[in-house]
Chain A
Amino acid sequence: MPSLTHGLSRIRYELAGPAGAPAFILINGLTQYVEIWHPYREALAARGFRVAIFDLLGQGVSEKPTLFINQDDQVGVVRDLVAELGGGPVFIGGISFGGVIALRYAIAHGDTIAGLIPISAFAEVSPQLYLLGKAMMTGLVLGGTSYLMDLLFPMNLSNAWIGPHMSALEMAKRRGWLLNDVFALQNLMESFLDFEPLTPQLSSIRVPTMILNGEYDFLTPRPLQESMRVHIPDSALVIIPNAYHAFTLEKPALTADLLARFAEDVLAGRWHGKQTIWVAPEQPGGEITPFPPGFDHMRAIPTKLPAHKETTTP
């Protein structure tokens, strides 16, 4: 099992794909672990990318600091991984909590990466997200990792996924439950207690940025994605249809395809984010279509934009 050492902490990671190729570093969300990204490892390596995946400090098989976890340490781990990959182009993607770490990395070390993919991420904690986070932490404390996952499943996955898996949900939780310890997850969640909004620093991110947002994500809904889109100059917001917060788990083939297409476009000089808004296809390889001009992408019902706001669509 390869591992790198950051400070005194051992971090588990995996590398796949051809050495020297453009690389992806994929960063987990809360309760996740390396194996979650295996479908991405296969799909992206098959398209000629190198892929680095790892357990966050405090999760999976990586070191679990007993009392305190600093988000700067997570950024430091990503820095070490980037160094491990050599000097080729590196794309960083992260989901949810991992998306925040990816944003932090891009703000601090943007010159070391070729592109950024915040997935179901957030740069600020809205009142709703704050209260949801508090409720999740209470759930973790009172009911353990298993109960936290009970909360996360229906919040983050669609009926289309949960329905067929309903009888196996207990089994589906097992690996995440086995690999994660309450005290470490609590430390990770508490690292948001003094969270300062990243929004004022987003404009310093100059790399191409593809913001991915599930159509029905109510944990980190559109307004949180919008704040990234309007502040990151070379960004585009891509809405994943029929998707919730954890669509990376539910639609691995589609999401991996979007990641690969983004990197290919950036490397070929075809990427022009321009803060545009798009709708992803339902299936991998399908057409990514511009959000219908004249309509408000912030609304759940078709609402005409006032004339002066129509410039935001491609």
Chain B
Amino acid sequence: MTPFLGPLEEGGHIPAHQQTRVAAFLMSAHGAQARALAMSLPGGVHDGWQLEMHVQYCREMEILSLLARATSWTADPMLPLLAWSWEAAWLPRPAEGIAEMREAMLVDMAAFGHALHGALRPAALLPEDAREIDPFAMAMRRLELESGRLMQGQTLFLKGARFHGARAAVNAAVERRHVQVRELWDVMLRSIEVDITNRHLAETAFQIALRNNALYQASLQGAAGKAEQKGAAKN
């Protein structure tokens, strides 16, 4: 297991079987969100939130198209089974504690979108030495950047005055979707030998450079050295 995708193939590319599994997962999740948005789109745009929904739908379609084209696909016999389990997980489930069914469904859709755009970090899967202009790597970065912006729609909706009275229910719905999305993401990653649990422990190129920098080491040891001298003087 490694904390990032790879080892990289010749030319700095992510292995095709990893690209396939990651892209399939993302397409399943973003596809589910696109479908939910499409079914909720009003006939005409009369209000700001309807416009936002339209924008979200278009961006989700863009993400799907980008993933389909930027991925180096390869045969993956596990995909039908995995896709079935993912699709089952994304099925709408009205948020508990919100009496009005349409509101409860909207909260769940926004909660799922928040998890999708907030909890998933596709660009953070890339190793430092991934080729800068590799299409798949670029798609992962693009998707993560776009997700941060898209999430604002969900954030404003879920934190808005409309749900002040149902804050606990909304919070619980978002937490549930985050846990669900993260768990499935982690399982999928482990199936391609990637475990992000301890990626904070992975030494970055910068840390390695610092560790090897004599001046930096000397500055760190300065305080400790002086303390030792002081202790020796006391004794």
Secondary structure type dominating chain A contacts: helix
Could you say which of A105-113, A141-149, A213-221 contacts chain B? A141-149
Residue pair B174, A66 in contact (C-beta under 8 Å): yes
- Do A47 and B227 have beta carbons less than 8 Å apart? yes
The answer on a CB contact under 8 Å between A143 and B200 is no
- B4: nearest residue on chain A (CB-CB)? A178
Interface check A195, CB cutoff 8 A: no
A181 touches B200 (CB 8 A): no
> Which residues from chain B contact A252 at a C-beta distance below 8 Å?
219-220, 223
Name which residue of chain A comes closest to B118, CB basis. A183
When C-beta atoms are compared, the residue in chain B nearest to A168 turns out to be B206
B199 at the interface (CB under 8 A from A): yes
- The answer, among B128, B205, B220, for a CB contact under 8 Å with A43, is B220
Give Cα A174 to B4, complex, Å.
Answer: 13
Which one of A61, A171, A186 contacts B205 once the chains associate, using CB atoms below 8 Å? A171
Given contacts A171-B204, A252-B220, contact A183 B155 (CB under 8 A): yes
Q: Is the CB of B200 within 8 A of A142?
A: no
Once A141-B149, A171-B128, A257-B223 are accepted as A-B contacts, the answer to whether A178 and B199 lie under 8 Å apart by CB is yes
A179 touches B144 (CB 8 A): no
Query: A183 vs B154: C-alpha distance in the bound complex, in angstroms?
Result: 11
Are B178 and A66 interface neighbours, CB within 8 A? yes
B55 near A: Cβ within 8 Å? no
For B38-71 the 0/1 string (1 means CB < 8 A from A) is 0000000000000000000000000000000000
Interface contact B148-A67, CB-CB below 8 Å: no
Which residues in window 166-188 of A have CB below 8 A to B? 168, 171-172, 174-175, 177-179, 181-183, 186
Which chain B residue shows the least CB distance to A190? B159
The verdict on A142 contacting B149 (CB below 8 Å), with A60-B200, A67-B170, A168-B209 known, is yes
Given A35-B200, A67-B159, A182-B118, is A144 in contact with B145 using a C-beta cutoff of 8 Å? yes
**CB contact under 8 A between A66 and B118, given known A171-B128, A175-B207, A183-B155:** yes
Among B124, B147, B148, B170, which residue has the most Cβ atoms of chain A within 10 A?
B148
Are B148 and A144 interface neighbours, CB within 8 A? yes
Chain A residues positioned under 8 Å from B128 (CB to CB): 171, 174
Is A141 in contact with B226, judged by CB distance below 8 angstroms?
A: no
Tell yes or no: B184 within 8 A of A by CB. no
A67 to chain B: which residues have CB within 8 Å? 114, 155, 158-159, 170-171, 174
Contact assessment for B200 and A256 in the assembled complex, using a CB-CB cutoff below 8 Å: no
**By the criterion CB–CB under 8 Å, are A253 and B171 in contact?**
no
Taking CB atoms, residues of chain A closer than 8 Å to B227 are 43, 46-48, 260
B-facing mask of A32-45, CB < 8 A → 1, else 0? 01010001001100
B interface size (C-beta, 8 A):
40
- Inside 8 A of B200's CB, which chain A residues have their CB? 33, 35, 60-61, 175, 178-179
Report whether B220 and A39 are in contact in the complex, using a CB–CB cutoff of 8 Å. yes
Q: How large is the interface on A (under 10, 10 to 19, 20 to 34, 35 or more residues)?
A: 35 or more
Question: In the assembled complex, which residues on chain B have CB atoms less than 8 Å from the CB atom of A172?
Answer: 206
A68 at the interface (CB under 8 A from B): yes
**Bound-complex Cα distance A182 to B149 (A):** 10
A65 to B: closest C-beta gap in Å: 8
If A168-B209, A175-B200, A175-B207 touch, does A141 touch B224 (CB 8 Å cutoff)? no
In angstroms, Cα B122 to Cα A178, docked, is: 11
A141 B174 Cβ-Cβ under 8 A: no
Closest CB-CB distance, A308 to chain B, in whole Å?
40
Q: Which residue of A has the minimal Cβ distance to B174?
A: A66
B83 within 8 A of A: no
Please encode chain B, from 191 to 227, with 1 for each CB lying within 8 Å of some chain A CB and 0 for all others: 0000000011000111101000000000111111011
Q: Is the CB of B119 closer than 8 A to any CB of chain A?
A: yes
Q: Mark B138-166, 1 if CB is under 8 A from A, else 0.
A: 00000011011101100100110000000
Q: Does A284 contact B (CB under 8 A)?
A: yes
8 A–B contacts from the bound complex (CB under 8 Å) = A39-B220, A142-B148, A178-B199, A178-B200, A182-B151, A252-B220, A253-B221, A253-B222
Given contacts A171-B128, A183-B119, A253-B221, 13 further A-B pairs with CB under 8 A are A47-B227, A48-B227, A67-B114, A142-B149, A144-B144, A174-B205, A182-B151, A183-B114, A252-B219, A254-B223, A257-B223, A285-B222, A285-B226
